[in-house]
Amino acid sequence: MRFRASVYVALKPAVNDPQGNAVMDGLHALGFESAANVRVGKYLTLELDADDQAAAKRQAESMCDRLLANPVIETYTVEVAAAE
Amino acid sequence: MRFRASVYVALKPAVNDPQGNAVMDGLHALGFESAANVRVGKYLTLELDADDQAAAKRQAESMCDRLLANPVIETYTVEVAAAE
């Protein structure tokens, strides 16, 4: 069966995020003065084959552990749904 | 009121995604042979002040239009929830 996975990778809260700080400065310069705590992560989508939804999720999590996320500084969340 | 916004920025389907292709090649090399259609986008989280949830969402969408996303090649989705 074909599945579509959405993967959200975010820096752990304790990790400094210079890109997020740069975006926050940009938002302030545009007048969004209340913007704070801006963090920039990755949002990946992909398709994969698996026997069922649980297997698809396990496979996507394995992809995260091995390639898509750096477990030392990042956390990830995976959502899986049947591909149309 | 304080709100927390999650912003998902993805390349439009017609736009070539070399980073996604590189990730797909990496997944194939690791044995995830069924991985396809890999697309890499951005996942931003931030906090902002607004009167209510609808206003917070409008403000976050305005941030996307003006800074966080490139409307020529990217689409975005915004989710807003009250900050704890």
Burial A49-79 (b: 16+ CB within 10 A, else e): bbeeeeebbebbbebbeeebbeeeebbbebe
- The confidence score (pLDDT) of residue B73 equals 97
Read off the pLDDT of residues A35-54 as tens digits, 9 standing for 90 and up.
999 999 999 999 999 999 99
Sketch out chain B's domains with CATH numbers.
2-82 (3.30.1280.10)
CB-based contact, A55 to chain B, within 8 Å: no
3-state secondary structure of B44: strand
Token pair in block for residue A58: 């396990």
Q: Is the ipTM of this complex over 0.85?
A: yes
Which member of B10, B43, B46 has the closest CB to residue A37?
Answer: B46
Which member of A8, A39, A44 has the closest CB to residue B39?
Answer: A44
CB-based contact, B84 to chain A, within 8 Å: no
Which member of B10, B30, B45 has the closest CB to residue A10?
Answer: B45
Read off the pLDDT of residues A1-25 as tens digits, 9 standing for 90 and up.
999 999 999 999 999 999 999 999 9
Per-residue pLDDT of chain B (84 residues; tens, 9 = 90+): 999 999 999 999 999 999 999 999 999 999 999 999 999 999 999 999 999 999 999 999 999 999 999 999 999 999 999 997
CB-based contact, A25 to chain B, within 8 Å: no
Token pair in block for residue B60: 């976050």
**How far away is chain B from the Cα of A44, in angstroms, using its nearest Cα?**
5
| Extended strands (E) in A1-84 | 2-11, 36-49, 74-82
CB-based contact, B55 to chain A, within 8 Å: no
- The confidence score (pLDDT) of residue A66 equals 96
Helices (H), A30-67: 53-63
- The confidence score (pLDDT) of residue B84 equals 73
Give the alpha-carbon dihedral of A23, A79, B5, B24, to 10 degrees.
20
Amino acid at residue number B57: K
**How far away is chain A from the Cα of B67, in angstroms, using its nearest Cα?**
7
DSSP A64: I
Burial A14-48 (b: 16+ CB within 10 A, else e): eeebeebeebbebbeeeebeebeebbbbbbbbbbb
Rounded to whole angstroms, how far apart are CA atoms A61 and A69?
10
3-state secondary structure of A38: strand
DSSP A22: H
- Nearest chain B alpha carbon to A40: B44
Rounded to whole angstroms, how far apart are CA atoms A8 and A68?
10
Q: Is A26:B36 a contact under the CB 8 Å cutoff?
A: no
- Mean pLDDT along residues A58-74: 97
Token pair in block for residue B76: 């975005």
- The confidence score (pLDDT) of residue A84 equals 73
Which site among A39, A48, A49, A61 would you substitute to test the B interface, given the most B Cβ atoms closer than 10 Å to its Cβ? Answer: A48
